[in-house]
Amino acid sequence: FLVTLLVEDVHMSLVEAGLVLSLVQVASVFGRLMWGWVADKAGDGAAVLAVIGLIAGVSAAVATQVSPAWPGLGLRVLFVVFGIASIGWNGVFMAELARLSPAGRIGPTTGASLAITFAGVMVGPSLFSLIHEAVGSYATTFALAAAASLAGTGLALLSRAVARRGAPEDAI
């Protein structure tokens, strides 16, 4: 929806909006590598996931305010940062799932998580479109993404707290 947001709400040309999307995609590759490195160095994947969720949530909240008055560089920086967080999270997430999975249950645990994740990939765009239809602005619709990211931040922190307490294997 980034290109549509930039064309319809910000009045950017289709080519320029496509270039912004290209920047976001390239930055997201860097983000996946960077977040994995940060998680390895920090030794705390759940904390890194919480930071990623916070950055994505704040970026989505800021995206609700974009308008034609925004400078092009500001839009690019916002969406590159948003992409680094919102597209770069899943490697750290999968590593945390594998780390927290009970012995011998890594495959079923990650498989179940991927089924849920990809169900969101299938339903999310339609839900986003329905919300856009109700509110009439792509920028405002990004408030949904902010809420989802911040909820993920809370869940990452909860997971971290449960793991530190040494929850029984069947609780994870």
Question: What is the per-residue pLDDT across 67-91, written as a single tens digit (0 to 9) for each?
Answer: 999 999 999 999 999 999 988 888 8
Is residue 75 a contact partner of residue 6, using CB atoms and an 8 Å limit?
yes
DSSP letter for 88, please.
T
Tens-place pLDDT, residues 26-54: 999 999 999 999 999 999 988 999 999 89
User: CB of 50 within 8 A of CB of 150?
Assistant: no
Whether 28 and 88 have beta carbons less than 8 Å apart is answered as yes
The confidence band for 168, taking pLDDT boundaries of 50, 70 and 90, is low
